[in-house]
Each structure stands twice: as structure tokens, then as C-alpha cells.
Amino acid sequence: MSETRKKRYFGTDGIRGKVGESPITPEFILKLGWAIGRVMKRDGKDGILIGKDTRISGYMFESALQAGLSAAGVNIRLLGPMPTPGIAYLTRTLHAQAGIVISASHNPFYDNGIKFFSSEGTKLPDEIEFAIEDELDKPMETVDSKYLGKAKRIVDAAGRYIEFCKSTIPAKIDLSGTTIVVDCAHGATYHIAPNVFKELGATVIPIGNQPNGLNINLDCGSTKPKALQEAVVAHQADIGIALDGDGDRLIMVDHKGEEVDGDEILFIIAESRRNTASLHGSVVGTVMSNLGLEHALKERGIGFERALVGDRYVMELLKQQGWMIGGESSGHILCLDRTSTGDGIVSALQVISAMFETGKTLHELKSGMKKYPQHLINVPADKSFNLKGNKVVSQAVSDVETELMDSGRVLLRPSGTEPVVRVMVEGVEAVQVTRLAKQLAEVIVDAQKNY
């Protein structure tokens, strides 16, 4: 079914958009709550969790979802502000039928979205998303008053999740004497992440922990780590941790103030697992993962495979192969031997565990991987332009690959959201990489003129 039918509302990570514009309106979210309630009631199970990040529209959509679910006869448990991975964890451990996250992740406050977790704490399968869309086509009907869903608040949700995070590293690890700057992006981890590291003994300097509904991800967090880098240097901290608005992404900073991105974090965790004989199978990155990651892993006898961009595709490949570790350059790291989804706090703890196992600093650990220079150019392109079938472009790519030989690679990728082709060239020499990327971009521009 999912191979031939196209979804109308669901994207690769739920439903997302600008608040007040279809489909991110109170009316639609009300009916969406009713629709998922109807679908979940078919299984004869009951109880759905709702959590959210800190953006101001979360209040409105939480109420709308609650009303829709109640109208469908489903009981609701409210978590309040809670990181996306925390909602996934609580959905599993509280044996809920599903978990609903109100968040637009790393987007600005004026965006919002809805995403779902199954009872196992994983993303909903396609058939459930199609079933929800089918219900959205039907007129909304309210169950008899005696069957309306009830709502209650889970008051110890944060404490439960904090304890889980701490359990993902060995109990012997004591962070006393370690100074950590934690940037919560004014998002869903503001009341959780600092406490995780404090309870493990660290001296914690929190920043980005004063959400007001409008400042989520604003010049802070994993997408803009400059403030964290400055704070680490100013406080002479051992490490810095930057999360995004919903807490599923991680970027780190070493004691020198240098950024440690998702590829480097993935390398550190994979090498640590290998050193402790707990790495099962290969590591999964994406087509955008740095070539230096692939080479560093292979030098250590660790297999590496690439999936399409998007944590959904990384997860699919991991599940297909029965592997455990994967992630993206953006900092969305999957440690399936610890939890069921990408989790910024848990990923940071795995890196800290590697530091304690080896006695090395974060700077020393990341130095085991040499990042190759990458140059990315977005070339305006009409959607009708047949990129793959163009012989001139294909020949130009072949010429660049010949020049790079085994020390580089080329990626041409039409954007799924913008009318552009992303041209990425990667290699050992930065000057050569930039020249070749510009060369390819010019070929694509000229090829369209003659198309």
C-alpha cells in the first residue's frame, strides 16, 4: 500500500508547517486528534500520551489534540514540556497505545508540528498514517458522553526520563570535577538536561534554559553553537553540549571551543562500542556523511553504509540489518542499543562514557577522525530538469570523480523542498574541492539552458 499511495499530510517526520496556515491550524489539529483516536481504538487498546516543546503555540495544540482524542473516546495522559526522545521512552514504559509530540524540532517558534510514536517508542508505520488520513476524510462524530476520554497529568514525567538517561552509561562513571556547559536551545530539555549531568556529579553551566515561548532555537542550540563555544572557553569547561528545541539532536564543543559535529560524535561512539566489544554490525550514516568518517571507521575494521538523508532512512537500514549505531552530520544520533529513537542527552552520555573509558579529552577523541573538506552549492533548477538522464552532467561528474580518484566523492541531489540541485564535492584538498564544485554547478546551469 505505502509503495503506491502518496500521503497528503504526513512527511518523513510527522506533519509540520507554519502556525495558522493549513494544516497547522487548531481546527485541523482537533480533527487529527479525533482521527488518531479512532484508529487506535480499533486495536481495543487505550491511552495516548501528549508532550510538547516550549513554543507558545504548544498550549493551543495540546488543548486541540486533547479535545479531539476525548471526542473519540480515548483517555489522555499529559506530559507537559518534554523532549521528543523522552516522550518515546515514556510511551514504551507507561505502556501507552501511542505518544504524540507537539514540536517543530529545530525550526523557529512560529512553526509547529505533530509527530507520533508507536507503543514501542518508534515512528508509526505507513499503514497507520494512511489509516489516520482516511479518518480525516470522514465527518467528525463524538462518542456518547459516558464514553468520552478522560485526561490526567503525569507529574513525575521529567524525573522518570532523567533516571532513564542516567541508566544508559555505567554506574561507576562519576562526573565530579568535570565542568559542562549545556545549551538547551530554550527548548524542551531546559528542565531536564542540566539535571541529568548535575545528578551524575558534574558542575553544570546551563545556557538557553529560559524559554518564553518565542525564543526556542533563537541564536542557540545545535543549529547555532557559537554561544556554546564562547561559553565553554569563557568558563574553561571540559565540554559543551548543544541540543535542539525538542532534544533529539546533539552537537558538542571540546575544551578548546571547537565544534564536534554529528559525524565526529558518531565516530566516537562507534569506536567506543568496538573497544568494549559491544558494536553489533556496521555503522549507518547518510549520503551527506563526511568521507573522513567512512575512512576512519574502515581503518578500524568497522563497516559503514550510507542511507538517504533523514533519520527515518537511517533507522530503516539499521532495523533491516539488525545493527545498532547510526546518525547524521546534523547530530541526530541513533543508539538502538540504548533507546528507540534519536536522543541528544543519551548520545552526549555515550561520548562522555568514551572519555572516561579512554582517559582522553573530547578533543583527543575526535582527532581520531580527519574530516575532509566539503563544498556545497545550491544550484537553481527547474523540477522538470532530468538531472540523472543528462549526458553532459553525467560526463562532468565522471570527469570530477576521475580527478578525485579514491580520495573524494561527488553528490548531486535534487532538493525535496526547494527548486534547487545540491552539488556537493568532497576531497582532501579544500581548494580543489571548491573548484570542482563550482565547475559542476556551472555545467548544471548551462545544461538547463540547452535542455
Q: Is 20 helix (H, G, I), strand (E, B) or coil?
A: coil
CA nearest to 385, candidates 414, 362, 349, 343: 414
3-class state of residue 377 by DSSP: strand
Angle at 98 between CA 214 and CA 306, to 5 degrees: 80
- Residue 216 vs residues 176, 188, 254, 261, 288: alpha-carbon distances, Å: 30, 9, 24, 21, 26
Sorted by sequence, the CB contacts under 8 Å of residue 131 that are 6+ apart come out as: 39
Residue of 57, 70, 103, 105 marked active site? 105
The dihedral built from the CA positions of residue 84, 418, 8 and 411, taken in this order, carries a sign that is negative
Under a CB-based contact definition with an 8 Å cutoff, are residues 313 and 285 in contact? no
Residue 269 burial (C-beta neighbours within 10 Å; 0-12, 13-18, 19+): buried
Instruction: Please list the residues that pair with 114 across neighbouring strands.
Output: 15, 102
Amino acid type, 164: F
Q: How far apart are alpha carbons 326 and 369 in whole angstroms?
A: 16
Question: Does the annotation mark 105 as catalytic?
Answer: yes
CB 164 within 8 A of CB 196: no
Rounded to whole angstroms, the Cα distance separating 404 from 114 reads 43
Q: 162 and 192 in contact (C-beta within 8 Å)?
A: yes
Do 343 and 188 form a contact (C-beta atoms < 8 A)?
Answer: no
d(CA 26, CA 61): 6
What's the one-letter identity of residue 371? K
The Cα–Cα gap between 325 and 113 comes to: 27
Q: Minimal CA–CA distance to 248: which of 447, 115, 401?
A: 115
Q: How far is CA 260 from CA 56, 190, 282, 428, in A?
A: 31, 21, 22, 19
Residue 343, Cβ neighbours under 10 Å: how many? 31
How many of the other CB atoms lie within 10 Å of CB of 40? 24
Cβ proximity of 304 and 406 under 8 Å: no
Catalytic positions: 105
